[in-house]
Chains A and B, each alone.
Chain A
Amino acid sequence: MDFRTCVNIQKEWDIVGARQFGRDFSKKLGFGIVDQARIATAISELARNIYLYAGSGKICFDEVENVGSRGICIVAIDTGPGIKDISQVMEDGFSTSGGLGAGLPGVKRLMDEFDITSKTGEGTEIRVVKWVR
């Protein structure tokens, strides 16, 4: 996919940059302030996962369209260790109990669509979409 913009995530400060970009982008697409806040929180979670577990990666943004509705597509890509057991990280309470925040189930709740692919040793790609209501 040819993404319009990507934000590299290497240091904690980059999380803020990704949030800022995502918020501005979603505002432009017509999201209300609640959804802007949700999208920013989802970006935080995705970016923090990259920063904490993969070391480095990027968050890419694109506009998507589907029969008359507009949305934001966010893809988080890293070349980290990958996730061995995806079902486990998608379980409620698995990451949150460790105090790591909303975790991937939280991201899934914040967004409308969620897709994850991961290969051990190669990295993880998480694609999420939210539609303007």
Chain B
Amino acid sequence: MDALKLDLSHYRELLKQYINTQDESALYEAEQISKRSIQHNISLEEIINTHINALEDIYPELPENIQHSMSFLLEVMISYGLALQEFQDLRETQLEIKSEISVAARMQNTLLSTVKPDVEGFDIGVVSVPANQMNGDYHHFIHHEDGTVGITVADVIGKGIPAALCMSMIKYAMESFPSEHKNPSEILESLNRVVERNVDPSMFITMFYALFNPAASTISYSSAGHEPGFYYHAADDTFEEIRAKGVVLGVTDMAQYRQYEREIHAGDMIILLTDGVTECRQGDRFIESEEVLEVIKSFSHLSAQELVENVYKHFEKLQDFHLRDDFTLIIIKKDV
């Protein structure tokens, strides 16, 4: 049961030294023994037993009542020793689970990988960081042959593994849609049926789907209850919320989605995000979406990629480097 025995003679000498001198160096050595014992899984009761034996060696005439008291202490410590062992076993189990999750997270990264489009006249930046190992946010770019780009931003209510599993399903559902199927409203309607049929009713998915046409400089979009994005008007240096009405995916099989369209002007920006961005917290306080926009504005002279990364770093720091929710931010800037 015990991986290693405590060295009785060493313990005895140390104890003797301490009893005679009350020397701090003996106590320092005792600390080392304690750490080594933990490392080598030496049980608590074994240490007490070593102590009793050492004491009896040093004082052969140890009074019987002291001896009994030591046996009593040993008995009291048995359950503590057990609890410690259980703790160590649970810690091992936890490490195993962690490493399994990190494998799953790597798989997820491969499964959900997407290529940021390189579009003439536009500059696109993307950042998506999970709060834990697995990401419950999802973003994807679909490159159509006619030069248009489908852009998806989605968020599963909840995070972690269940959310991540759900996202993999969404991705494959979308890939199964025929390629001529690119209208945002149609895509959300098809996807809504998939989610309604296949996903646990306690899970909700919000999604913003946009069809970006760089040649015409337009973007058409629909939203399934997703956190609204923002449009930056360079002309008067103002932000406007991109409002789009639509029910969360999976609530009803008959959901219909309205489709909107807008033109993108030179210097303007489209900002798409998940609630991990707008619901950042500083202590107990939720930040206001104006603050997000202020921060975006302060970095807007940078390239789109540097811009989103700097915004992320700002909020990561604000939250003491501990994200509470998955964070996804996409910015599309039209060149001036």
**A contact set with B: CB distance below 8 Å:** 32-34, 37-38, 40-41, 92-93, 96, 101-102, 105-106, 109-110, 112
Number of A-B contacts (CB under 8 A): 43
**Residue pair A105, B86 in contact (C-beta under 8 Å):** yes
Prevailing SS type, chain A contact patch: helix
Min CB–CB distance A102 → chain B (angstroms): 5
List 22 contacting pairs A-B, 8 Å CB cutoff, sorted by A.
A32-B49, A34-B49, A34-B74, A37-B75, A37-B78, A40-B75, A41-B82, A92-B90, A92-B93, A93-B90, A96-B83, A101-B79, A102-B82, A105-B86, A106-B79, A106-B82, A109-B1, A109-B82, A109-B85, A109-B86, A110-B78, A112-B1
Residues in chain A near residue B79, CB distance under 8 A: 41, 101-102, 106
Against A, the Cβ 8 Å flags (1 = close, 0 = not) of B46-66 are 100100100000000000000
Q: For residue B81, which residue of chain A has the nearest CB?
A: A38
Min CB–CB distance B133 → chain A (angstroms): 23
Against A, the Cβ 8 Å flags (1 = close, 0 = not) of B88-109 are 0110010000000000000000
**B contact set with A: CB distance below 8 Å:** 1, 45-46, 49, 52, 71, 74-75, 78-79, 82-83, 85-86, 89-90, 93
Residues in chain A near residue B83, CB distance under 8 A: 96, 102
Residues in chain A near residue B49, CB distance under 8 A: 32-34
Pick the most buried of B1, B46, B89, B90: most chain A CB atoms within 10 A of its CB: B1
**Residue pair B86, A92 in contact (C-beta under 8 Å):** yes
Residues in chain A near residue B82, CB distance under 8 A: 41, 102, 106, 109-110
Question: Quick one: which of A41, A93, A96, A105 contacts B78, CB cutoff 8 A?
Answer: A41
Q: A34-B74, A102-B86, A109-B82 are in contact. List 9 more A-B contacts (CB 8 A).
A: A32-B49, A33-B49, A34-B45, A37-B78, A41-B78, A92-B90, A93-B90, A96-B86, A101-B79
Residues in chain A near residue B46, CB distance under 8 A: 34
Q: For residue B86, which residue of chain A has the nearest CB?
A: A92
Complex CA distance for A105 and B86, rounded to whole angstroms? 8
Complex CA distance for A115 and B297, rounded to whole angstroms? 68
Complex CA distance for A96 and B45, rounded to whole angstroms? 20
Question: Quick one: which of A38, A101, A102 contacts B45, CB cutoff 8 A?
Answer: A38
Complex CA distance for A109 and B83, rounded to whole angstroms? 10
Residues in chain B near residue A92, CB distance under 8 A: 86, 89-90, 93
**Which 5 pairs of residues, A with B, have the shortest CB-CB distance?**
A34-B49, A41-B78, A102-B82, A106-B82, A37-B78
